Amino acid sequence: MPKLLPRSFYLDPPDIVARRLLGKLIARRLNGQSLTGRIVEIEAYLGLDDPAAHAYAGKTARNAVLFGPPGFAYVYFIYGMYYCLNISCQPEGHAGCVLIRALEPVKGLATMARLRKLPANAAPRLLTSGPGRLCQALDITRAAHNGLDVTRRPSPLQVLDDDYEPGLVRETARIGISKAVEQPLRFVIEGNPFVSR
């Protein structure tokens, strides 16, 4: 039986937490069904000293969750179309987070395909490989999930540990940003086909 990750799991700096979250499960409870995916790609965003982070400019209404306690979902709307899922890290007052960039779909693939508006037999790679895609596949929105505690039971959004051991972890530069591009704060499971692009 997978274990719910406790709040203490998220107390450390984002790069530590990001690496440690690889291989863990995101479980989305939707209409009595469980949509589950394994984290295979993730990025760390630091606080006030990371120009690429949303928290860089200081606390605003949008990013307030980042400055709160660890273990809470930070969901934001991007490019007028997509949502991205983050989890806050570090003690209250420290604005670190991790961005979930890709999942390996585990359970509920047919529902994920429907939510992505793809045919039921669509390639699994198209379901959750990318931060915008995985939010669509799991029906994660800012209105419903921003500020949600992911360490609580029950919850529509949880992070679980099923003792899966990821193989080799590769560390790379982050994707899609224009500032602090050189920092190696992206972590992927080496060779996993569900890593984005």
Q: Which residues bind DNA (CB under 7 A)?
A: 43, 45, 52-55, 57, 60-63, 74, 77-82, 84, 86, 97, 99, 116, 126, 130-134, 174-179, 196
Q: How far is CA 109 from CA 20, 35, 96, 195, in A?
A: 25, 8, 31, 17
Are 76 and 140 contacting, i.e. CB atoms less than 8 angstroms apart? no
Residue 142 host element (H or E): helix 142-145
Q: Name the residue nearer to DNA (CB basis): 110 or 162.
A: 110
Q: Name the residue nearer to DNA (CB basis): 1 or 81.
A: 81
Nearest approach, Cβ of residue 109 and DNA (Å):
15
Residues in the chain: 197
Tell me if residue 21 falls in helix, strand or coil: helix
Q: Name the residue nearer to DNA (CB basis): 2 or 40.
A: 40
Q: Who's near 15: CB < 8 A, 6+ residues apart?
A: 44, 46, 185
Nearest approach, Cβ of residue 52 and DNA (Å):
6
Q: Name the residue nearer to DNA (CB basis): 2 or 124.
A: 124
Structure tokens at 120: 């039921």
Nearest approach, Cβ of residue 146 and DNA (Å):
10
> What distance in Å separates the CA atoms of residue 114 and residue 25, rounded to the nearest whole number?
21
Nearest approach, Cβ of residue 163 and DNA (Å):
27
Nearest approach, Cβ of residue 166 and DNA (Å):
21
Could you report how far apart the first and last alpha carbons of the chain are, in Å? 32
Tell me if residue 193 falls in helix, strand or coil: coil
Q: Name the residue nearer to DNA (CB basis): 2 or 56.
A: 56
